[in-house]
Amino acid sequence: MRFVLFSALAAAAVLTGCGGGDSHPKAASPAPTISVQAVAASASDWPDAYEAAGTVRARTATVISSKVMAYVREVAVQVGDHVRDGQEIVKLDAQDLDTNVRRAEAAEAEVRSAFPEADNGIAAAKAGLDLAQTTFKRMEELSAKKSISNQEFDEASARLKQAQASYDMAQAKRKQLDSKLAGVEQEIRAAKIIVDYTRIAAPFAGVVTAKSVEQGNLAAPGAPLLTIEKEGSYRLEVSVDESKLPEVKSGESVDVELEAVDRRISARVSEIVPEVDAASRAYTVKIDLPAMVNLRSGMFGRAWFPMGARKVVTVPTSAVMERGQLQWVFVIEDGSARNRLVTTGKRQPGGVEILSGLSEGEKVVSPIAAGLVDGSHVEVRQ
């Protein structure tokens, strides 16, 4: 029974394949001809450039640290805060330092309290000296007339010398007090300066980019507390291969592309660091950036340094099709469009560099017409 059913199905298939008894099979429809425009791949001079990657850095940045060892009483800013020039940003505990100021001020008061006594001593010594000088002059006249003995004259002379010594000693004590006062006043100024060190202010207007201190921490001299960058003043620092050193010139204009900016911008080379890194065999080039919104240190960027011109084969951008990682063009061969895989390079407005897969002079379809596939018959419009 199964064999009979199979035989019937086979016979039906044969009849169907033969067109139901029709001895003249239908002819296939000819493929339509597509009207296209064509352009020849051309060789042209394109400006060559060396691409270097780098990082955005602030042109002016400072690490804030303490000049004295003291506990942190207050931190007035956080990362990302904007600060003014001279704004107090960290306050340290100044109790011990205030004690030094008060101690120096007490010493000053003590020195000044000794001034009246010293001045009185000078006045008394000066009075005694004046009296001794008058007496000695009188005795000197009497001695010339032989009216007094030599003993009396010698005693008058000795009293004059003693009075002069007392006066000189009183003046010396007053000078000692003046010197001591000057030293104490210097101590007061130094102590107050140290107290001022406990109030740490921003050296310029900018933004806080790093913070490594909290209230209650012990601040040590030189230990980083905060980092501040001046806004609107950034540069791109890129690593350039040592072989390109003769090609890069300070002051030249270069194209720069930043992650934060969806376009190329023009910038200027401001500094070339001549030292070459032994590990990477590269040196650093610093490029000043124009003021831009939301520009921050640490952003990634690229720079292109002009290196003259080179010959390249190009086709219009509209001639290249892409799908995933593949690029191809339609080359016109014997009236048909043939699919040709190509490798593309750099792009410029209206043109694409062809690295491989296409030779100068070959004609490609541009723009690509709708419905065009590999092998399509084409008619080139003039």
DSSP state of 167: H
Q: Are 286 and 269 in contact (CB under 8 A)?
A: yes
As a CATH number, domain 65-93+198-231 is: 2.40.50.100
* Fold of domain 33-46+311-380: 2.40.420
- The DSSP 8-state label assigned to residue 66 in this structure reads B
Nearby residues of 91 by Cβ (< 8 Å), 6 or more positions away: 72, 73, 74, 76, 198, 199, 200
Structure tokens, 264: 């190329």
Cα–Cα distance measured from residue 124 to residue 118, given in angstroms and rounded to the nearest whole number: 10
In whole angstroms, give the CA distance from residue 70 to residue 256: 46
Dmax (CA) of the chain? 186
**Positive or negative: CA dihedral 254, 240, 343, 332:** positive
Half-sphere exposure of 244 (CA within 13 A, CB side): 21
Query: Reading across the β-sheet that carries 61-65, which strands appear in turn?
Result: 61-65, 224-229, 206-211, 82-83
Query: Which amino acid is located at 126 in the chain?
Result: K
> 51-60+232-309 belongs to which homologous superfamily?
Efflux pump adaptor protein, beta barrel domain (2.40.30.170)
Q: Residue 235 has which token pair? A: 């540069």
How far is the C-alpha of 178 from the C-alpha of 184, rounded, in Å?
10
Question: Which residue(s) pair with 210 in the sheet?
Answer: 227
Rounded distance between C-alpha atoms, residue 84 and residue 231, angstroms = 11
Q: What is the pTM of this model?
A: 0.55
Return all residues near 228 (Cβ < 8 A) that are at least 6 apart: 61, 62, 64, 83, 202, 203, 204, 206, 207, 208, 209
Which residues face 73 on adjacent strands?
none
Domain covering 94-190 assigned CATH 1.10.287.470 in the classification: yes
* Extents of the domains making up the chain: 33-46+311-380, 51-60+232-309, 65-93+198-231, 94-190
Tens-binned pLDDT, residue by residue, of the chain (382 aa): 333 333 333 333 333 334 444 444 554 556 688 888 889 988 888 878 888 999 999 888 899 999 999 999 999 999 989 999 999 999 999 888 888 899 999 999 999 999 999 999 999 999 999 999 999 999 989 988 888 889 988 999 999 999 999 999 999 999 999 999 999 999 999 999 999 999 999 999 989 989 999 999 999 999 999 999 988 789 999 999 988 888 888 999 999 998 877 778 899 999 998 888 888 889 999 999 988 877 888 889 999 898 888 889 999 998 899 988 899 999 999 888 999 999 998 888 878 999 999 999 999 998 888 888 888 898 888 6
